[in-house]
Amino acid sequence: MSVPQWELRARFAVSLADLYGQEVPAYTTLVDVSRAVNEDFVAAHGADAERLGSISRVTAERHGAIRVGSPVEMAQVARLFAGFGMHPVGFYDLRDASASSVPVVSTAFRPTDVDELARNPFRVFTSMLVTDDRRFFDAATQERLEAFVAARELFAPEALVLADRAAAEGSLGSDDADRFLTLATASFALSTEPIDRAWYDHLEAISAVAADIGGVPATHINHLTPRVLDIDDLYARMSALGIAMIPEIQGPPDWEGPDVLLRQTSFRALAEPRTFREADGTTTSGELRVRFGEVEQRGIALTATGRDLYDDLTAEVDRRLAHAPQGTTRVAVAAEVWREHLPQTETGLALAGLGFFRFHATGTARPSTGSGTVAGLAELLESGALVAEPIVYEDFLPRSAAGIFQSNLTDEGSRDDDQLGTPYDLVRLSEVVGITIADPNDLYAAQQAASLAEAEAALGHAIN
């Protein structure tokens, strides 16, 4: 029996969840509460609840976050994930997310095909430490970081060989599949090897994220995030259980119009026992608090125009908030700004070219257009000749990402803002990963365009 890549990926998500649930018990609570929120949401909203993904997809849906220390490690991660049919999509430079800057650049590994996403959308947000960024690391620290990272092995060579085979053949035999899953999962377990206390502390004074990456002998899952259909409900239920959430839900506000992009929130995980090696060579047990629980709600993918508008609105919210009376929440200001600037309906988003949709011809009577050869999208939607199905946002938001990173750190660390390191972008990071990183917009736009072409064929005329 051979195991196809989607099944490898689905099993990988489950096996990482088992591991993470054992390591971070609060994760299990989060998953239980998420399931309850989703069940109640479906019960209350019926079929509409599944507009942005089937309930079976959403229930199984997770994203992981991991952090690696060098281009070599990033290329290995890319090989490993390719075995699971997960490909790099999107570029995020968290160094320039202003106040909450952290010394990493990131991409997300995920399925890119619509069918593959529907079977299992497991994705992993993957960050790479940028060691030559003088805003964070002096030359001596850079040198030591690079040597430290170069000397460790994150992935068993056998895992990478199996990954290559799964990627080339699209499946693995059942024994190889078991082996691949065991090895791949083990790569992300929290290491019990001692951590050099002085080195860790040195890095932590600069950046807690740098310490979590370059101060420890292995990588680990930083968080594993379930998806909910109502994050406000989730937030209230977790708070009622006495779990201290970060003060806000990040990303778009709760409002009566369509949900777009991504809303996320998190709670700090408990301190975890770790072993340290002290300056005198003895080992001691201590604690670190670097991992956390995160949860998300996904909305409609925005076009480049929609995304620019989103960024402008976010800036407008900041401006208004700066002048708002004490006690005004960001979410309240944001909801007001959104009401002023965003269409209140999905159709409005589609017609304004702000959101991505798949259009389907319904086969019902089409409107007469006069010319008989072309019809406008608006009238086709209005007459019911065409329906628009929203395309869900499968990616991340750098500002939320940086906010999530930062809100869970104990200390902001130090940095010197004048000296930038390697000027990474999507192309440069693609070279590092060894695979072309897809631009998320191209993927969404291709889906929308394909659906329009099919709809035009079914209608027998062009749509404008």
Interacting residues toward ligand OOG by CB under 6 A: 65, 67, 125, 127, 222, 264, 294, 396, 400-401, 404-405
Residue 386 or 401: the one with the smaller Cβ distance to ligand OOG is 401
CB of 305 to ligand OOG, least distance (A): 23
CA–CA dist 210, 128 (Å, integer):
10
Interaction partner, residue 451 (Ni ion, ligand OOG, none; CB < 5-8 Å by kind): none
Residue 59 or 264: the one with the smaller Cβ distance to ligand OOG is 264
Residue 12 burial by Cβ neighbours in a 10 Å radius (0-12, 13-18, 19+): buried
CB of 125 to ligand OOG, least distance (A): 4
Write the interaction track for Ni ion spanning residues 190-229; mark x where CB under 5 A is met and - where it is not: -----------------------------------x----
CA–CA dist 122, 295 (Å, integer):
14
CB of 103 to ligand OOG, least distance (A): 12
Interaction partner, residue 67 (Ni ion, ligand OOG, none; CB < 5-8 Å by kind): ligand OOG
Interaction partner, residue 185 (ligand OOG, Ni ion, none; CB < 5-8 Å by kind): none
CB of 64 to Ni ion, least distance (A): 8
CB of 199 to ligand OOG, least distance (A): 20
CA–CA dist 86, 224 (Å, integer):
16
CB of 404 to Ni ion, least distance (A): 6
Cβ-based neighbours of 338, under 8 Å, separated by 6 or more:
252, 253, 255, 257, 313
Residue 120 or 225: the one with the smaller Cβ distance to Ni ion is 225
Among 187, 116, 202, smallest CA distance to 152 is for 187
Residue 167 or 213: the one with the smaller Cβ distance to ligand OOG is 213
Interaction partner, residue 127 (Ni ion, ligand OOG, none; CB < 5-8 Å by kind): ligand OOG
Using Cβ positions, the residue closest to ligand OOG within the complex turns out to be: 401
Residue with tokens 């940028």: 130
Residue 65 or 391: the one with the smaller Cβ distance to Ni ion is 65
Interaction partner, residue 222 (Ni ion, ligand OOG, none; CB < 5-8 Å by kind): ligand OOG
Residue 162 or 404: the one with the smaller Cβ distance to ligand OOG is 404
CB of 387 to ligand OOG, least distance (A): 31
Under DSSP, the state recorded for 208 is: H
Span of 51-59, 64-72, 105-113, 164-172 interacting with Ni ion by CB under 5 A: 64-72
**The pair of three-digit structure tokens given for residue 421, joined into one six-digit string:** 């390191």
Residue 391 or 401: the one with the smaller Cβ distance to ligand OOG is 401
Residue 7 or 272: the one with the smaller Cβ distance to ligand OOG is 272
Residue 65 is a binding residue for Ni ion (CB under 5 A): yes
Write out the DSSP string of 28-82: HHHHHHHHHHHHHHHHHHGGGGGTTS-HHHHHH-EEEEEEESSHHHHHHHHHHHH
CB of 256 to ligand OOG, least distance (A): 25
Determine the distance from the C-alpha atom of residue 390 to the mean position of all C-alpha atoms in its chain, rounded to a whole number: 19
Q: How do 357-361 and 292-298 pair as beta strands?
A: unpaired
List own/partner pairs for 141-146 with CB under 8 A and 24 or more apart. 141/202, 141/203, 141/206, 144/199, 145/69, 145/203, 145/210, 145/214, 146/70
CA–CA dist 295, 265 (Å, integer):
6
CB of 230 to ligand OOG, least distance (A): 18
Residue 227 or 237: the one with the smaller Cβ distance to ligand OOG is 227
Q: Residues 245 to 304: which contact Ni ion by CB under 5 A?
A: 294
Residue 76 or 106: the one with the smaller Cβ distance to ligand OOG is 106
Interaction partner, residue 303 (ligand OOG, Ni ion, none; CB < 5-8 Å by kind): none
Cβ proximity of 210 and 103 under 8 Å = yes
Among 164, 83, 178, smallest CA distance to 124 is for 83
CB of 404 to ligand OOG, least distance (A): 5
Interaction partner, residue 391 (Ni ion, ligand OOG, none; CB < 5-8 Å by kind): none
60-99 burial by CB neighbour count: b if 16+ within 10 A, else e?
A: bbbbbbbbbbbbebbbbbbbbbbbbbbbbbbbbbbbebee
Residue 421 burial by Cβ neighbours in a 10 Å radius (0-12, 13-18, 19+): middle
Q: How far is residue 3 from each of residues 14, 101, 164, measured CA to CA in Å? A: 15, 41, 15
Where do contacts with Ni ion occur on this chain (CB under 5 A)?
65, 225, 294
